[in-house]
Amino acid sequence: MAATATRAERRAANRDAIVAGTLSLVSEGGWGAASMHDVARRAGVATGSLYRHFPSKGDLLAEVFAVASGRELATVRNIASDEARPPLERLAAAIEAFAHRANAAPTLAHALLAEPVDPAVEAARLANKQAYRGVFAATLRAAVEAGEIEDLDADLAAAAIVGALQEAFIGPLASGRAGDELIAGLVTFTLNAVGAPHGHHAA
């Protein structure tokens, strides 16, 4: 029984090392840097053992995408759901957090947002966008209920916010990082677009 547990623990540790190694490579050079040979070397395992954990490279990359994007989504969700702050303030703060975290790891952020990759990752990327839309839509509905803005189609507005975030950051992240003026302008644009009172901004 102990031997079985040890094998399971070793297998789990190897899998974690593979995911972590792949993520570090993507953070350094995008999806193209994550060849199976380099992943195995970074993780400290044999190349053949990768396929015992992931049936294909696409499955591995999709898992790495889920791990990395999940962390970013959790940060935005936590800020957007903080009921100690007014909804519009939460919305602005969530966008700012998204932007600053992207700037902290621009190569990874660009890979997560836009870099062409395996269809399995594209499917995960679509699901991730839908999750962001859900977070922003809930925040906008809270803003309507609080009387901060007039009633609006929250789902449509949330989809537009997600689209604006992606389009605004793809170019800057591809060449380095987004400037503070771009971030501030995106927050202002978003608040104006949903009908926030003039001058409303994140605290």
Instruction: Give the pLDDT confidence score for residue 160 in this predicted structure.
Output: 96
Question: Would you say the CATH fold of 56-203 matches that of 1-53?
Answer: no
Note the CATH number of domain 56-203. 1.10.357.10
pLDDT band at residue 176 under the 50/70/90 scheme: confident
Closest listed residue to residue 124, CA positions, set 53, 70, 50: 70
pTM of the predicted model as reported, rounded to 2 decimal places: 0.89
Note the CATH number of domain 1-53. 1.10.10.60
Q: How many angstroms separate the CA atoms of 166 and 202, rounded?
A: 20
Report which DSSP code applies to 53: H
Q: How many angstroms separate the CA atoms of 25 and 38, rounded?
A: 8
Q: How many angstroms separate the CA atoms of 13 and 43, rounded?
A: 10
pLDDT band at residue 9 under the 50/70/90 scheme: confident
Task: Determine the average pLDDT of the residues in 148-159.
Answer: 97
Q: Where are the domains of the chain?
A: 1-53, 56-203
Q: How many angstroms separate the CA atoms of 48 and 45, rounded?
A: 8
Residues 14, 53 contacting (CB under 8 angstroms): yes
CA distances from 22 to 27, 69, 113, 155 (A): 9, 14, 17, 34
